[in-house]
Amino acid sequence: MLVLSRRENDRIDFPALGISVEVVKLTRSRATLAINAPRHIRICRHEMGKDGSAPLTDESYSAGVRRDVVSRIQDEINAATEKLKAAQEELSAGHTDQALIALAGALAELDALRYGASGVESDRRRTPSQVGAVNDRAVAGGVAEAAARYTYSADQQATQRSRTVVLVAAPDDDRSAEWSAEGYEVTHTSDAMTVLYELSRYEKPDAVVLSTSPDDSDGQSTVRLIRTCSQHPHVPILFSPPDRQTV
């Protein structure tokens, strides 16, 4: 058990659960608390259990998570669908750039949904007791008093994301091996539309590498597509003849 002392207007956060508890008012015999929590989290006074109220079971916890997630997923799907409709309308009107911008936005919505769903699935498999155990480790840092020291470093827990580049080159181009040798994860494509998709991902690449010279017309078209229509218009773009010029 972690014991904390809090003053009036102080707050305790449970990041892993999306819960915060704020001390609104203190008197000699009573503390008034404001609790903010997701809809599927059941909150009750301790004495309610004696009146026959059932504790939160793993099944009801999972059901609550599912309800909350389904609602969020539906919102994301609706947003992506609207962007796809907008892309179709712009394309029908001959507005190619606007169509590509809307398409990139829809791809970004869908990939954010995919990324979020992968994390939600792991949360759904955890029971309330397991979530509580994670929370005990995560929330204590920065709120425990000196008498109850408990340290936590998110930096120690977080894994380093790999550096990534998108290489736009012919299929038989061997430059991907050079970048891999320097520690990069490489997505190799010869298609500018694949670049647009990669730049719509939730975890975006660190750079785009073009295996052409700056005055090459295909390279210029790809640069324009990235700068004008992508979700990551300021991504570094490198031309990969030996001097690796950057634009």
Q: 180 and 145 in one domain? A: no
Residue 46 included in any domain: yes
Q: 63 and 149 in one domain? A: yes
The string of DSSP codes covering 52-79 is TPPPPPHHHHHHHHHHHHHHHHHHHHHH
- Name the CA dihedral angle for 99, 100, 101, 105, rounded to a multiple of 10 degrees: 100
Residue 1 included in any domain: no
Residue 4 included in any domain: no
Q: 66 and 39 in one domain? A: no
Q: 169 and 192 in one domain? A: yes
Query: Which residues sit opposite 31 in a β-bridge?
Result: 26
User: Of 154, 169, 178, 242, nearest to 209 (Cα)?
Assistant: 169
Which of 136, 157, 178 marks a domain boundary? Answer: 157
Q: 208 and 191 in one domain? A: yes
Q: 36 and 72 in one domain? A: no
Residues whose CB falls within 8 Å of the CB of residue 157, separated by 6 or more in sequence, listed in order: none
Residue 5 included in any domain: no
Residues 76, 177: Cα–Cα separation, whole Å: 37
Cβ count within 10 A of residue 38: 11
The model's pTM is 0.51
Q: 184 and 143 in one domain? A: no
Residue 217 included in any domain: yes
Q: 168 and 151 in one domain? A: no
What 3-state class would DSSP assign to 50?
Answer: helix
- Structural domain for 92, as ranges: 58-157
CB 236 within 8 A of CB 207: yes
Each residue's pLDDT expressed in tens, for the chain with a length of 247 residues? 677 777 888 888 888 778 888 888 887 778 888 888 887 777 776 655 555 455 555 566 566 667 776 777 778 788 888 888 888 888 888 899 999 999 988 888 888 877 776 655 555 555 545 544 444 443 333 333 333 333 333 343 334 567 899 999 988 888 888 889 989 999 999 888 889 989 998 888 999 999 888 888 888 999 999 999 999 999 999 997 655 555 5
Residues 205, 219: Cα–Cα separation, whole Å: 18
Q: What was the pLDDT predicted at 57?
A: 57
Residue 2 included in any domain: no
User: Of 213, 245, 228, 31, nearest to 236 (Cα)?
Assistant: 245
Residues whose CB falls within 8 Å of the CB of residue 125, separated by 6 or more in sequence, listed in order: none
User: Of 6, 2, 3, 46, nearest to 26 (Cα)?
Assistant: 6
Which of 137, 157, 177 marks a domain boundary? Answer: 157
Q: 223 and 206 in one domain? A: yes
Residue 3 included in any domain: no
Q: 210 and 184 in one domain? A: yes
Q: Tokens 């991907």 — which residue?
A: 176
CA 23 to chain centre: 30
Q: How far is CA 232 from CA 142, 192, 205, in A?
A: 35, 14, 9
Residues 153, 95: Cα–Cα separation, whole Å: 49
Which of 127, 157, 187 marks a domain boundary? Answer: 157
Q: 216 and 150 in one domain? A: no
Q: What was the pLDDT predicted at 138?
A: 39
Q: What was the pLDDT predicted at 234?
A: 92
**Domains: count for the chain:** 3
Residue 6 included in any domain: no
Q: 142 and 106 in one domain? A: yes
Q: What was the pLDDT predicted at 55?
A: 54
Residue 200 DSSP class: T
